[in-house]
Amino acid sequence: MIAFNEQKNCQWKIAKRPNGNVKKGDFLYDETEIPTIESGEILLKTLYLNIAPVMRMYMSGESVANEKSLNIGDLIHGRGVAEVIESKHPSYQVGEIHQGQIGWQTFKKSKVTTAEKFRKIKNFKLPYSIGLSTLGMTGFSAYFGFIDCGKPKKNETVVVSGAAGGVGTNVIQLAKIYGCRVIGIAGSDQKCELIKELGCDGVINYKKDNVRSSIETLCADGIDIYFDNVGGNILSICLDNLAKKSRVVLCGSISEYLNDKPFGLTNYTKLRKTNSLMHGFFVYNYEDQFHVAEKNLARWIKEKKIKPIEHMFDGFQNMPKALASIYDGKNSGVAMCRIRKGPYEN
């Protein structure tokens, strides 16, 4: 792991708005004093930071998912897993591990506001990075999106785009638990091999295969559930191939993140023709049910019905490079950066 200055709070800030994929010059590295805390505050030491496609939108000045827009010079938003190392708050104890809005920094002083969305990670004797993957917002998005919005039934045909990504890899495994037939769409032969191993009955490499003809062949009786992580043309193709009373779950739109002009969907009336539903969702609207998802997902992990897939980058200094790589499609599973080694890691 690449060392950084443990005597300072190291931070990545926005140097300029990105044009296309993020580049080194879009980021500003800074070192500040480690914060001191007052009554009602806690100090956390960062262990892992999430690398999410939506971060480019934050850097572009857009307000996304209730997060405020960022200005030049601001600390970059980001969820993380961190250990409480000092507490003057009655509800937080030293040694606890929490996930929440940490930002791209190696220490975090917090008044524990609702906006920071801190949540204690239970000790399942698993690496605490799982708080950013299957037992975090990624896994919860897969769980509530697929189960509550998708309403799966045994033997239904499920198509998952972005299937090798963090949410997609979890959706595939949930669909197999529910007895569904799963078709995964991914962007390389290596990723297609991964999603086959996770249970996909058919795979489509959208960079090599004709997606439309592949969908028509693999889903001859139509798609019962389309779990959309990418938006754009693949969403349009799947809308043309829906079964009766199908469900389209809108989770993400990574194909749009580098485009200045949004994709214009023109065939949404196919929903009417097939009596189908298109259902968008925001994972934090399920916050009062997170404990249910956590309990079930942890059980399925222990039963080896779900295998968390994590793409781990090493070193705080590599955060900008790690973010750029996910827009190039180089990661599988949940992308995150290890800042410090956490408990239960090999």
The pLDDT tens digits for 229-274 are 998 899 999 999 999 999 999 998 765 655 656 666 778 888 999 9
Question: What tokens does 24 get?
Answer: 């080194």
How distant is the alpha carbon of residue 276 from its chain centre? 26
Which CA distances in Å does 102 have to 121, 224, 269, 307? 15, 38, 42, 26
CATH number of the domain residue 61 falls in: 3.90.180.10
Q: Indicate whether 156 and 272 sit together in one domain.
A: yes
Could you read off the pLDDT of 308-339 as tens digits, one per residue?
Answer: 999 999 999 999 999 999 888 888 999 999 99
Same domain flag for 75 and 165: no
Three-class SS state of 289: helix
**292 falls within a domain:** no
Q: Measuring CA to CA, which residue among 168, 148, 170 is closest to residue 159?
A: 168
d(CA 9, CA 4): 10
The reported pLDDT for the residue numbered 66 is 66
Average pLDDT over residues 168-174: 98
**Mean pLDDT, to the nearest integer, of 277-286?**
94
> What mean pLDDT, rounded, does the chain reach?
92
Whether residue 323 contacts residue 308, with contact meaning beta carbons closer than 8 Å, is answered with no
Strands 242-250 and 223-228: parallel
Pairing of the two strands 42-50 and 107-110: antiparallel
- How many residues appear in the chain? 346
Banded pLDDT at 295 (limits 50, 70, 90): very high
Mean pLDDT within 152-156:
98
Same domain, 254 and 203: yes
Predicted pLDDT of residue 162: 94
Kindly state whether residue 291 falls inside one of the protein's structural domains: no
Report the Cα 174 to chain-centroid distance in Å: 16
SS3 at position 6 = coil
pLDDT value at residue 257: 57
Report yes or no on 248 lying in a domain.
yes
127, 342 in Cβ contact below 8 A?
yes
Q: State the pLDDT at residue 148.
A: 98
* R_g over Cα of the chain: 20
Distant-in-sequence, close-in-space partners of 173: CB < 8 Å, separation ≥ 6: 198, 199, 300, 305, 306, 307
pTM, two decimals, is 0.90
Statement to judge: residues 153 and 179 lie in one domain: yes
Rounded alpha-carbon distances, angstroms, from residue 253 to 32, 82, 188, 257, 263 = 35, 28, 18, 7, 10
Q: Are residues 148 and 42 located together in one domain of the fold?
A: no
Structural domain of residue 174, as residue ranges?
Answer: 137-284
Look at residue 38 in the predicted model and tell me its pLDDT: 95
- In this structure, the answer to whether residues 185 and 259 fall within a common structural domain is yes
The continuous run of DSSP H or E covering 189 comes out as helix 189-197
Q: Is residue 298 part of a domain?
A: no
pLDDT score recorded for residue 56: 86
CB 142 within 8 A of CB 165: no
Nearest to 283 by CA among 136, 164, 166: 136
Q: CATH number for the domain including 157?
A: 3.40.50.720
Q: Percent of the chain, pLDDT > 70?
A: 95
Asked if 92 and 209 sit in the same domain, the reply is no
Question: What is the mean pLDDT of the segment spanning 278-305?
Answer: 95
Residue 203 above 90 pLDDT?
yes
The pLDDT value given to residue 74: 95
Residue 317 lies in a domain: yes
Cα angle 327, 121, 114 (rounded to 5 degrees) comes to: 80
Are 160 and 272 members of one domain? Answer: yes
Looking at the domain assignment, is residue 301 inside a domain? no
Task: Please state the domain count of the chain.
Answer: 2
Distance CA(296)–CA(314), nearest Å, equals 30
Locate 4 and state its tokens: 């950084």
State the pairing for strand pair 310-314/277-280. Answer: unpaired
Residue 331 inside a domain? The answer is yes
User: Quick one: tokens of 311?
Assistant: 């793409």
Residues 316 and 280 both lie in one domain: no
Give the lowest-confidence range in 8-17, 169-178, 267-276: 267-276
Same domain for 42 and 169?
no
143 shares its domain with 277: yes
Average pLDDT over every residue of 85-98 = 96
Alpha carbon 33 to its chain's center: 31
Confidence bin at 114 (pLDDT 50/70/90): confident
Asked if the model's pLDDT at residue 11 lies above 60, the reply is yes
Shared domain for 23 and 91, answered yes or no, is yes
Q: How would residue 303 be classed by pLDDT, with cut points 50, 70 and 90? A: very high
Judge whether 297 lies within some domain: no
Long-range contacts, 259-265 (Cβ 8 Å, 24+): 263/231, 263/232, 263/233, 263/235, 263/236, 265/235, 265/236, 265/239
